């Protein structure tokens, strides 16, 4: 393990070592937040990268009945859909010890995210601010569903952004909804995880770019822990 002090990245040679460390740190953060709050909110990502972290977190012993789980972003598809992040979270995190956690969906059965947001926004806002957020990063420097080039990206990154942002753009297969950068930055602690040399270079580039070009840059404020592993090969 090595620490890059300039960007505050903790670097691991092995993915398993990184996963173990992230689970340990998030578990401690969850317990600490529960010590001073009746209920807490934990934001989690979809996709394949966090799966081993979420599965190990599901085995952690704590009072999960007081933990509200919310996705950082979601595809606007039914829960049964193979690309549903909600389905993924139910299968990887909301089991074992964590089966008693409260899942707060950011999808509803409406035709579009724009319509659905009107009906679920109050429920999401009632869970804020976030206590802990786990995020990833793409090689294109996106995080959650805040992608470079989105028409409404400037609004999604602004300090007065709405809680939920509808996401639709060329190259994105399904319409999506994402928490805004403002919501992520309200979190007491953020953990950003990425694998592979390609994403390591993307992070280096992001640190010197405007958030409109590198949206992940917008959430690297406040209490952030960044973890990277497997520098010598690209992630899946």
Alpha carbon 103 to chain centroid distance?
A: 15
Asked whether the whole model's pTM tops 0.95, one would answer: no
Residues of 184-196 as b/e, b for ≥16 C-beta within 10 angstroms?
Answer: bbbbbbbbbbbbb
Per-residue pLDDT of 69-78, as tens digits, reads: 999 999 999 9
Backbone angles phi, psi at 50, to 5 degrees: -80, -5
Backbone angles phi, psi at 81, to 5 degrees: -70, 145
Q: H/E/C letters for each residue in the chain?
A: CEEECCCCEEEECCHHHHHHHHHHHHHHHHHHHHHHCCCEEEEECCCCCCHHHHHHHCCCCCCHHHEEEEECEEECCCCCCCCCHHHHHHHHCCCHHHHHCEEECCCCCCCCHHHHHHHHHHHHHCCCCCCEEEECCCCCCCECCECCCCCCHHHHHCCCCCCEEEECCCCCCCCEEEECHHHHHCCCEEEEEEEEHHHHHHHHHHCCCCCCCCHHHHHCCCCEEEEEECCCCECC
- 15-21: average pLDDT: 92
Per-residue pLDDT of 41-63, as tens digits, reads: 999 999 888 999 999 999 999 99
The token duo for 53 is: 């972290």
Query: Which residue, 149, 130, 133, is CA-closest to 141?
Result: 149
- 195-217: average pLDDT: 92
Indicate if the pLDDT at residue 236 is higher than 70.
Answer: no
pLDDT of residue 184: 97
User: What CATH code is assigned to 15-229?
Assistant: 3.40.50.1360
Indicate if the pLDDT at residue 131 is higher than 70.
Answer: yes
pLDDT of residue 1: 53
- 92-105: average pLDDT: 98
pLDDT of residue 20: 95
pLDDT of residue 230: 58
Greatest alpha-carbon pair distance for the chain in Å reads 47
Query: Which residues have a Cβ under 8 Å from the Cβ of 59 and sit 6 or more positions away?
Result: 96, 97, 98
The ranges assigned to domains in the chain are 15-229
pLDDT of residue 233: 40
């Amino acid at each position: 393990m090595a620490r890059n002090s300039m960007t505050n990245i903790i670097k691991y040679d092995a993915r398993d070592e990184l996963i173990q460390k992230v689970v340990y740190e998030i578990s401690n953060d969850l317990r600490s937040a529960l010590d001073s709050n009746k209920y807490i909110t934990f934001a989690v990502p979809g996709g394949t990268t966090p799966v081993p972290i979420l599965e190990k977190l599901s085995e952690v012993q704590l009072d999960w009945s007081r933990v509200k789980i919310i996705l950082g972003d979601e595809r606007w598809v039914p829960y049964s859909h193979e690309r549903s992040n909600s389905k993924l979270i139910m299968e990887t995190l909301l089991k074992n010890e964590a089966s008693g956690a409260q899942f707060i969906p950011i999808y509803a059965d409406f035709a579009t995210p724009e319509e659905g947001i009107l009906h679920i926004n109050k429920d999401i806002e009632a869970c804020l601010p976030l206590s802990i957020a786990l995020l990833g990063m793409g090689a294109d420097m996106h995080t959650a569903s805040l992608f470079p080039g989105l028409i409404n990206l400037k609004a999604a990154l602004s300090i007065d952004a709405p809680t939920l942002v509808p996401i639709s753009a060329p190259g994105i297969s399904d319409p999506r909804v994402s928490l805004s950068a403002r919501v992520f930055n309200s979190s007491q602690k953020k953990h950003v995880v990425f694998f592979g040399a390609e994403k390591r270079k993307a992070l280096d580039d992001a640190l010197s770019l405007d958030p409109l070009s590198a949206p992940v840059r917008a959430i690297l404020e406040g209490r952030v822990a960044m973890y990277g592993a497997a520098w010598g090969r690209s992630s899946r």
